[in-house]
Structure 1
């Protein structure tokens, strides 16, 4: 089974949604047969490159939230994350900026076979440690933590080798029906918008699995059978 999740690096619901998906897969009876692949859904391309803002400032600029509204909204997410095992999870006391380069970094890491490691590392750095993940140096340091070659990563990012791929990733999510992030697709059939709870995600995984693994008749003709008229046992018993 393949599960794809589209996310924005600095979206708090995306970090929480990724965590909830992990918990659902851990509880899933066939979790060892599940492949989870992360994709990019950039939402901050309108921010000027090289500028960083406080979350409070960004919420005011983009959503018109005053200080009290920002406090209520973000502290709620932080409390949810803590209750589900993500602590610390820094949302309000954090910074935001243009994440286009971060997504190129994630695409490069994925091409190097480190999709999961890179996404886990960037969420952990940003939400767990409130570390900036916007500049080239920020991303080169992060890459070293997951054993990416620093100079190879530098070349990939300065050449913007994965810029087109990031755009294509987001465009594919939109074709599949995504209007925001996170967005999850299970086995190419089930699209799940938003950070659904792990119980709901687990239900979808089980449904998708049952549909793709229908029961087949056994080969033992003498096996006991239950039908609409009751249960029968082999005649020779």
Structure 2
């Protein structure tokens, strides 16, 4: 079973959704047969490498809130994250352009450490206030998660994987994805948002059942006696 997750590394609900998906996958009977691939989605492709204001001020300006209202909104998100095991410190982090982070995630996929790098980017940005648009910071975080620092640095010095990022985003548009996280199972089932683990598990179970239908065997002597309505109740 193939599961693709479109997300951005500065999306708090994507980090929360990651934890909820992991909880669902841990309960899924066929979890060892699931391949997970993180796909690129930039919430703001025009963002600078680092914003000049913190996330609270940016949120307030974007939605016409007071700073107090923005702080309250972020506190609610932080509470939701805490319920999933994260320790968000949203007041420390400043948003920035994420295309380079996505490029390194494509590199990480080739080396089998994509999930670990994704986790490190989330923790660095949301918990430690790391500069997510800074190449040196990204290389350090990726190296923490097992990626070769020299190779990561070489990728960011050129344009490698930029087309792969754009291809992911083009596929997202083709699916009609306008927000993240967005989960796609076997390119047949789509789930929008950081759904509870029970919902994600239900989707996994259904996708598996649909892909592996159980055959109905009829003996050579034909169909035996069955009850298929209320007429044979005793």
Q: TM-score, normalised by structure 1?
A: 0.87
RMSD: 2.2
Bigger proportion of residues as strand: 1
Relative to structure 1, the CA distance from residue 191 to residue 104 in structure 2 (aligned partners, 3 Å threshold; closer, same or farther) is: same
Which residue matches 2:88?
89
- Pick closer, same or farther for the CA change 1:99–1:217 going to 2, 3 Å: same
Residue 96 of structure 1 aligns to a residue in which SS?
Answer: coil
Within-5 A mapping of 1:1-237: 1-84=1-84, 86-218=85-217, 227-228=226-227
Gapped runs of 5+ residues in structure 1? 231-237
Where structure 2 has 5 or more consecutive residues not aligned to the other structure, the ranges are 230-234
SS in 2 for 1:174: helix
Q: Distance in 2 between matches of 1:39 and 1:220?
A: 48
Matched position secondary structure for 1:181: coil
In structure 2, relative to structure 1, the CA distance for the partners of 1:80 and 1:229 (3 Å cut) is: closer
| 1:90 to partner: Cα distance | 2.5
Deviation at 1:147, TM superposition (A): 2.6
Assess if the C-alpha contact under 8 Å between 1:53 and 1:97 holds in 2: no
Aligned residues: 228
Deviation of 1:50 after TM superposition, in Å, equals 4.6
Determine the C-alpha separation between the residues in 1 that align with 2:87 and 2:145: 21
Give CA deviations for 1:155-213 in whole Å, capped at 9, x if unaligned.
11110211111111111012112011111101211111111111111111111111111
Deviations 1:80-103 (A, max 9, x none): 12123x231233442211112111
Per-residue CA distance 1:105-126 (angstroms, 9 max, x = gap): 2122223332212111111222
1:51 Cα deviation after fit: 4.1
| Cα distance in 2, alignment partners of residues 229 and 88 from structure 1 | 54
Report the counterpart of residue 235 of structure 1 in structure 2: none
Q: How far apart in 2 are the matches of 1:159 and 1:91? A: 31
1:9 is paired with a residue whose SS is coil
